[in-house]
Every structure is written in C-alpha cells, then in structure tokens.
C-alpha cells in the first residue's frame, strides 16, 4: 500500500493516519528513516531510552557500581538496536 504526505515549507510532514495506527505512534514519538542502496526509504518507529528501560528492567541489579550499571544499560541498548535492525531487514 502506498500513502502520500506533503512536505511543508519547514520540511515537516503529517504521518498518514493508517501509518500512525500501524506503527502505534503517539505524539512526541520518534521515527526512523532508513535509506537502502536503491534509495528506497523505510520508516519505522524509534525507541527512546525510557522505552528500553522498561524492556530491560531485569538489568537493574542491586549492589552494582555506577560504571557496571551504565555498561549493562549500554549493552541492553545495543542489543535492542540490533533487534530492530534484524526486524526491519525481514
């Protein structure tokens, strides 16, 4: 299915309703624009750090130093990014 949007003079667009529903977008959500080697663009919902915090709450371990906690958070973020890349390449 193909949808259209108009670019304003400030380079803004309104995401069509069907796409907002499909991606479950809310106000203030982030979206990614991925361009492949054929200049085709794929749009996907972005994830904020706070979204990931809930997904990876099991990494919040007691008795860890700040450095250890930050390392675990960085690992979780990298894992989530890899998951998104794999999911978007299917």
CATH number of 1-46: 2.10.260.10
Per-residue model confidence as pLDDT tens for the chain (90 residues): 899 999 999 999 999 999 999 999 999 888 888 898 999 998 888 866 655 555 555 555 666 777 787 788 888 888 888 888 787 776
pTM for this one? 0.50
Domain spans of the chain, in order of start: 1-46, 48-90
Contacts of 44 (CB under 8 A, 6+ apart): 23, 31, 32, 34, 84, 88
């Amino acid at each position: 299915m193909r949808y259209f949007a108009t670019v304003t003079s400030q380079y803004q667009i309104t995401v069509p309703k069907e796409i907002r529903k499909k991606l479950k977008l809310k106000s203030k959500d982030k979206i990614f624009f991925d361009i492949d080697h054929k200049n085709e663009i794929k749009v996907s919902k972005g994830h904020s750090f706070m979204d990931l915090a809930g997904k990876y709450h099991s990494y919040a371990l007691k008795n860890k130093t700040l450095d250890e906690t930050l390392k675990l958070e960085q690992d979780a973020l990298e894992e989530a990014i890899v998951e998104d890349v794999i999911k978007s390449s299917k």
